[in-house]
Amino acid sequence: MTGFGGFLLRRAVGTVITLLAISVIVYVVFYVTPGNVAQITCGPRCSPAQVHQVAEQLHLGDPLYARYGDFLQGLFTGHDYSTGTSVEHCEAPCLGLSYQTDQQVTALILTKLPVSLSLVLGAMVLWLLLGVGTGVLSAWRRGRLSERVLTAVTLAGTATPVFVIGLVLMIVVCGELRLLPFPQYVALTDDPEQWAWNLLLPWLSLALIEAATFARLTRAAMLETLAEDHIRTFRAYGVGERAVIGRHALRGAFAPVIALNANNVGSAVGGAVLTETLFGLPGIGQELVHAVKVVDLPVVVGMVLVIGFFVVLANAVADVLYAVADRRVVLA
Amino acid sequence: MSEALVAAEAAVTGVEPVPAASGARQFWRRLRTQRAALVAAAVVALLLLVAVAAPLLTALEGQDPNSYHPALIDSARGGVPIGPFGGVSADHWLGVEPQTGRDLFARLVHGARVSLGVALAATVVQVAIGVTVGVASALGSRWVDQLLSRVTDIIVAMPLMIMALALLAIVPSSFPRPVLVALVIGLIAWGNIARIVRAQTLTLKGLDHVAAARLSGWGPVRVARRELLPGLAAPVITYAALLVPMNITVEAALSFLGVGVKPPTPSWGQMLTAADVWYQAAPQYLLLPAGALFVTVLALTVLGDGVRTALDPRAASRLRVGTGRGRGKKGQASATAPVPPAVTPTGADKSAPTEQHPTGGTAS
């Protein structure tokens, strides 16, 4: 298998294998829990008999491989759960039922996903604009005072945890200056304007931190490109500095920025969990933190898998984009 | 700081053959020439001192981190500290916590202990696993290499914050929490260091002195210990220096979410969670942990940059053309890619981005 088609195929197969491996690891790690799941699910005042009943209902006594097989089957073909009186069908991709609320995990995730996607995608637009813009600016002004200021600011940005900047922004903008109300999620489909206004601060918090990383990378990539021979040739032919920076050097920064952006999806998801918790946005991150606190394992496993899926997918897409953007990549 | 950035920056040192550690004296000489790194080193040293001497410092103040002082808070006004600036006095140097009246100075310095302790312990775990897996992968048979490399890929693909969050849920609360947080961070985020070590080991393996040792019948363990580890020191120290601030951020984030270090053990992240509703009555309750986190992470990051420059001046002083983008996958290429010609020094940027790989970040 050679060429671009082969590269795509190998990448796709690798992605599927990685996802399966992650599902096995996550499932095994979480269901070999040292804690007593049945007791936690049932509550502290349950009698031993009730705890036993819960354990039976959750199939906690079955061997692990059988439970994983069940889980996989549910994922691909759906699953039937008996709820005592009736049978509830959970359609594929079925991630099981919540221990706490008996809600289907897939449905739960689907209700939370728009919030998280709104947050991450909106912030991504901001951090790419801010980060690349700052990087270009500091490459253009290299050696001057303004560049040094920008470099210091971006360094400070990489050293600030997202929840610190979010907290400070919320207190200053909403609390002290009262420029914005404290964020409350409004769905895009309900009211696009309110959606954007309410997400503005969460977007900024997440984007400012990530933008700092991008600014550093863009600046470095541009300075590297500026040192190359073809740039010297452009300059010798009298191409203006603005065109050299804005067109030719920026092109050199393109591939690393794409790569870092996909890389950062994982880090941004972690940042999104913090941002959602801080601003009280009802997204996947907030729900995951809640599920972790009440040891609702099907919800935890489902969400980790879904998030892992997005991160692995983003990495795969980045690999392909990277190969397209930079012809020097060896398609090995 | 973002782990993707750490990976991007550290990969620079990992992929080119770094000259074996050129001696401690030369390292200090090179570090000394960087003013920012020196200031950062002083700050880090001070923080370490505070962390180690935390019980002593609080004894000097005459307080301890966990005692409640109900007399110092105004319960009629919802638990606001009595007195100016959140209850600052000769007895309570930085004031007291709203609602509980616990001493803030004591909680802050004990928080430094937790923060630095967890981050350093996690880094030790990451380095231990990363070096072991990386060396074994590079020296082992093809089969071993394939297996370990795929495992590393999977580890790198897992989002650190999410996995840590989830893992912390399932361990019973009787397990000592700071140890657990350090272990969890250490066990999840060793993928990038394993890749760097593997690439570096493959490069070293081809060098004459290592080949000579192998040919003279030394076992792999002896070869690794005597001939490889000295050559691995530079990239490993460089990357470890970048991991510490990242680990501090992750610990603070987990504690902020309420699943990291549990009360009453003080932690900066945890203080921030409680502080946001009190910012008007006791602003220092918010500003102290936020500032402490910021200064610590910043100082460690700058020091990490300085350490890299001192260990591998080439990465910092030269910008290179067309390097790693021609790389194959997962760091294998370092063994095959020729060392690119260096060009004249120009912008002298520390974070040459050439080695950023699409799947290089574990992501936090």
Instruction: Flag whether pLDDT at B364 surpasses 80.
Output: no
CA distance readout (Å), B159 to A3, A22, A266, B104, B243: 31, 11, 5, 34, 15
Chain A residue closest to B276 (CA)? A167
Q: Residue B5: pLDDT band by 50, 70, 90 thresholds?
A: very low
Write out residues 137-156 of A within 8 Å (CB-CB) of B: 139, 142, 155-156
Q: Does the distance separating the beta carbons of B162 and A307 come in below 8 Å? A: yes
Q: Does the distance separating the beta carbons of A159 and B8 come in below 8 Å? A: no
Is residue A219 less than 8 Å (CB to CB) from chain B? yes
Q: Residue B330: pLDDT band by 50, 70, 90 thresholds?
A: very low
More confident residue, B214 or B332: B214
Write out residues 245-304 of A within 8 Å (CB-CB) of B: 253, 255-256, 259-260, 262-271, 273-274, 277, 288-289, 291-293, 295, 297, 300-301, 303-304
Q: What is the mean pLDDT of residues A174-195?
A: 80
- Rounded to 5 degrees, φ, ψ at B337 are -70, 130
pLDDT in tens, B306-315: 888 888 755 5
C-alpha R_g of chain B = 23
pLDDT of A263 reads 67
In contact, A289 and A219? CB cutoff 8 Å: no
Q: Residue B1: pLDDT band by 50, 70, 90 thresholds?
A: very low
Q: What is the mean pLDDT of residues A108-131?
A: 90
Coil, helix or strand for B271?
Answer: helix
pLDDT of B345 reads 39
In contact, A99 and A41? CB cutoff 8 Å: yes
When scoring A25, A260, A273, A320 by the number of chain B Cβ atoms within 10 A, the one with the most, hence best to mutate, is A260
pLDDT of A36 reads 64
Q: What is the mean pLDDT of residues B135-141?
A: 88
Burial of B142 (0-12, 13-18, 19+ CB in 10 A): exposed
Neighboring chain A residues of B323 at a CB cutoff of 8 Å: none
Of residues B259, B279, B356, nearest to A259 (C-beta): B356
Of residues A160, A216, A295, nearest to B294 (C-beta): A160
Average pLDDT score, chain B: 75
pLDDT in tens, B65-97: 877 777 777 777 777 777 776 767 777 777 777
pLDDT of B132 reads 93
Neighboring chain B residues of A14 at a CB cutoff of 8 Å: 153
Instruction: Flag whether pLDDT at B359 surpasses 70.
Output: no
Of residues A21, A220, A301, nearest to B349 (C-beta): A220
Is residue B255 less than 8 Å (CB to CB) from chain A? no
Q: Does the distance separating the beta carbons of B153 and A292 come in below 8 Å? A: no
Contact pairs from chain A to chain B, CB under 8 Å = 243
Query: CA of B267, closest CA in chain A: separation in Å?
Result: 14
Residue B103 is given by DSSP the state: B
More confident residue, B187 or A53: B187
Instruction: Flag whether pLDDT at B332 surpasses 80.
Output: no
pLDDT of A44 reads 64
Is residue A8 less than 8 Å (CB to CB) from chain B? no
Instruction: Flag whether pLDDT at B333 surpasses 50.
Output: no
Chain A residue closest to B150 (CA)? A18
Q: Residue B282: pLDDT band by 50, 70, 90 thresholds?
A: confident
Enumerate helices (H) and strands (E) in chain B, giving the number of each. Answer: 16, 2
Of residues A159, A295, A301, nearest to B297 (C-beta): A159
Identify which of A10, A3, A1, A18 has the alpha carbon closest to the alpha carbon of residue A313: A18
Pairing of strands B73-74, A87-90: unpaired
pLDDT in tens, A121-143: 899 899 889 988 888 888 888 77
Instruction: Flag whether pLDDT at A196 surpasses 50.
Output: yes
Integer Cα distance of B50 and B52 in angstroms: 6
Q: What is the mean pLDDT of residues B281-294?
A: 84
Looking at chain A, the whole-number percentage of residues with pLDDT higher than 70 is 90
Looking at chain B, the whole-number percentage of residues with pLDDT higher than 90 is 18
pLDDT of B2 reads 47
pLDDT of B299 reads 92
Q: Is the ipTM of this complex over 0.90?
A: no
Burial of B333 (0-12, 13-18, 19+ CB in 10 A): buried
Is residue A318 less than 8 Å (CB to CB) from chain B? yes
More confident residue, B327 or B71: B71
Q: Residue A326: pLDDT band by 50, 70, 90 thresholds?
A: low
Chain A residue closest to B260 (CA)? A293
Instruction: Flag whether pLDDT at B360 surpasses 90.
Output: no
Candidate from A195-199, B152-156, B173-177 with smallest mean pLDDT: B173-177
Q: What is the mean pLDDT of residues A290-312?
A: 84
**Domains of chain B in sequence order:** 48-320 (1.10.3720.10)
pLDDT of B175 reads 80
pLDDT of B363 reads 36
**Cis preceding linkage at B353, omega within 30:** no
Is residue B213 less than 8 Å (CB to CB) from chain A? no
Is residue B4 less than 8 Å (CB to CB) from chain A? yes
More confident residue, B172 or A174: A174
Average pLDDT score, chain A: 80
Is residue A224 less than 8 Å (CB to CB) from chain B? yes
Q: What is the mean pLDDT of residues A231-259?
A: 80
Chain A residue closest to B348 (CA)? A223
pLDDT of B47 reads 93
Q: Residue A74: pLDDT band by 50, 70, 90 thresholds?
A: confident
Identify which of B262, B307, B283 has the alpha carbon closest to the alpha carbon of residue B98: B283
Q: Residue B248: pLDDT band by 50, 70, 90 thresholds?
A: very high
Integer Cα distance of A272 and A250 in angstroms: 29
Highest mean pLDDT among A14-23, A269-278, A322-331: A269-278
Q: Does the distance separating the beta carbons of A307 and B361 come in below 8 Å? A: no
Of residues B157, B172, B320, nearest to A18 (C-beta): B157
In contact, B155 and A26? CB cutoff 8 Å: no
Neighboring chain A residues of B162 at a CB cutoff of 8 Å: 269-270, 273, 288, 303-304, 307-308
Instruction: Flag whether pLDDT at B32 surpasses 50.
Output: yes
**Cis preceding linkage at A34, omega within 30:** no
Instruction: Flag whether pLDDT at A290 surpasses 80.
Output: yes
